[in-house]
Amino acid sequence: MRLMRLARTPKAPEIPLATIAKVKGAQRLVGLDARAQALGLTRGMGLASARAMHPDLLVAQADLRAEREIFAAVLAWCRRFTPLIAADGEDGLMLDISGVAHLFGGEAALCAQIEQRLAAQGFGARVGIGPNPFAASAIARFSQKQILPPEVVEARLPKIFGHFPLAALGLGSQVCEAMAQAGLRRVEDVFLRPRAPIAARFGPDVLARLDQLLGLAKSPILPQFSAPDFSVERRFADGLTQESVILANIHILARDLGALLERHGMGARKLGLTLFRVDGVVREVQVGTGRPLREAAAMARLFSERLAGLREDGFETGYGFDVLRLDAQLVEPAADLQTSALPHTQAFSPQKDVFQRDHVTDLVDRLGARLGTQRITRLQMQDSHIPELAVTNMPAAPFQAGQNRLKPSAASPLPERPLHLLKLPEPIETIAKVPDGPPMRFRWRRALHEVVAIEGPERIAPEWWKLAPKMLTRDYFRAEDAAGQRFWLFREGILQVEHPRPAWFIHGLFA
């Protein structure tokens, strides 16, 4: 498929249009519309000579970034036809339509539909269908015909492509020019000649491309988006604008996908919903799940949360969505579950990790879809005695067996720890009787606290066996003020050994 943008003002529809960019210090034409091409202008031509030929040529500065963005949008839009799509050069798209065309009424109808729909959006496109990617690309660019019928045998390909220009091989302009100087202009000029001298003179690339074009060598498509394992979709004659209708259809899709997954004994861990808007905008919404999921209601609820979140960020239905597609992007084998019976026996089995209970996982998924999964965490103890490293935030998923070895106990021999740990220790001003004694009073956040009870020091030395950033020895104290509030204070550095005047910090608050 070849794309050409028709970016013009409605006032001057007849004037040829070209975009220019600075190439090697000269203004050259980089994009031409159909009229400009009909006038004999070509890409790469200097602006001065183009103006000399056609003084009324309308010229606009090329906006490469915008072009790339539009190209990416068109590429995403084409996913409505097939999941396997690749970019073909700077201005082409390659769609793998194996086994897809009949859904759109055959190859000819598919061609027509793509061209019409792109034309309606203001793009001029040429579609070519061939037995391999190179053939399709060559047909789209250099042939009047669109479709190479599937019954054409490979033996006839050399004859068909023989009269195509050498540019159909997709070689660089330098190679093409060199070959033209040698009198090689068409594909058959290369094909009918001995291979060794051509490879010696123009490089092995030429022959490799030729083999691919003629179907003698395989040429894979590297798709932009990986194809999901399971996918269901619904198409509508009119765009859906009402959210309730969209959600109802998501539910139907989820039911279809659930049935598909059940048949294969799988459950989805990552789901993708692609919404194709009538005006070409494509929105993709992804949600992850905490367990292999196949219940329609649970899947639909995840998306309804997510869409509710998106709506607050300005998600617009606009002219409506005409294609909804639900993919299971990551699947895992799931045992057959009986979901409805006796939910409460499962809820209170005491030995089980909370995150292995389905309705807790479902809740976490639902909240994660709305708030972001990184915001839902559980605390996990680490093997470190540095207070701020002793515990980490882990994603809310089941612990691996034996991961959290430490169990709570009130009579634990561990020294007492605060309930809240400040994000960073905050400096405090202290008054002590002796330079290395415990503080008698201290000032934190402008409030003065009189110490009435204190315990310490509990010395925590840096982990010298690790290549950690340099840290001083800390002496921790538990202090209680006259109001009964309890603080976790520390002095950083040993007096006159590590630091001439160690500073005091507050690190945590007790209940």
Q: Does 389 bind another protein (CB under 8 A)?
A: no
Tell me the β-bridge partners of 448. 443
463 vs 357: CA distance, rounded Å: 38
Residues binding another protein: number (CB under 8 A): 66
Q: Does 486 bind another protein (CB under 8 A)?
A: yes
Q: Does 402 bind another protein (CB under 8 A)?
A: no
Query: Which residues in the 416-445 window bind another protein by CB under 8 A?
Result: 416-423, 438
Q: Which of 186, 190, 192 is nearest to 205 (CA)?
A: 190
Near another protein by CB under 8 A, which window of 182-190, 287-295, 462-470, 481-489?
Answer: 481-489
φ/ψ of 319, rounded to 5, equals -80, -5
Q: Does 49 bind another protein (CB under 8 A)?
A: no
464 vs 456: CA distance, rounded Å: 23
Q: Does 291 bind another protein (CB under 8 A)?
A: no
Query: Which residues in the 159-188 window bind another protein by CB under 8 A?
Result: none
Beta carbon of residue 47, minimum distance to another protein (angstroms, whole number): 51
Beta carbon of residue 391, minimum distance to another protein (angstroms, whole number): 3
φ/ψ of 491, rounded to 5, equals -110, 130
For the record, the structure tokens of 457 come out as 């020091």
Residue matched to tokens 């279809």:
256
- Our CB check for another protein shows the closer of 130 and 387 to be 387
Beta carbon of residue 504, minimum distance to another protein (angstroms, whole number): 17
180 vs 165: CA distance, rounded Å: 10
Residue matched to tokens 């001439």:
500
- Our CB check for another protein shows the closer of 137 and 361 to be 361
For the record, the structure tokens of 41 come out as 């202008």
Q: Which of 271, 270, 267, 241 is nearest to 253 (CA)?
A: 271
Near another protein by CB under 8 A, which window of 154-162, 174-182, 249-257, 414-422?
Answer: 414-422
Query: Which residues in the 336-375 window bind another protein by CB under 8 A?
Result: 347-348, 350, 353-355, 357, 359-360, 362-364, 366-367, 370-371, 375
Beta carbon of residue 509, minimum distance to another protein (angstroms, whole number): 4
Which helix (H) or strand (E) segment is 230 a member of?
strand 230-240
Q: Does 406 bind another protein (CB under 8 A)?
A: yes
Beta carbon of residue 453, minimum distance to another protein (angstroms, whole number): 4
SS (H, E, C) 67-110: HHHHHHHHHHHHHHCCCCEEEECCCEEEECCCCCHHHHCCHHHH
Beta carbon of residue 432, minimum distance to another protein (angstroms, whole number): 12
Q: Does 411 bind another protein (CB under 8 A)?
A: yes
Residue matched to tokens 């979140």:
309
Q: How many CA atoms lie within 13 A of 509 on its CB side?
A: 9
Asked if residue 134 lies in contact with residue 212, where contact means CB atoms within 8 angstroms, the answer is yes
Q: Which of 169, 179, 242 is nearest to 208 (CA)?
A: 169
Residue matched to tokens 């905490």:
290
Q: Does 378 bind another protein (CB under 8 A)?
A: yes
Q: Which of 399, 432, 457, 494 binds another protein (CB under 8 A)?
A: 399
Q: Does 465 bind another protein (CB under 8 A)?
A: no
Q: Which of 44, 408, 435, 500 binds another protein (CB under 8 A)?
A: 408
- Our CB check for another protein shows the closer of 26 and 452 to be 452
Catalog residues that contact another protein under the rule CB under 8 A: 347-348, 350, 353-355, 357, 359-360, 362-364, 366-367, 370-371, 375-381, 387, 390-391, 393, 396, 399, 404, 406-423, 438, 447, 451-455, 478-480, 483-486, 508-511
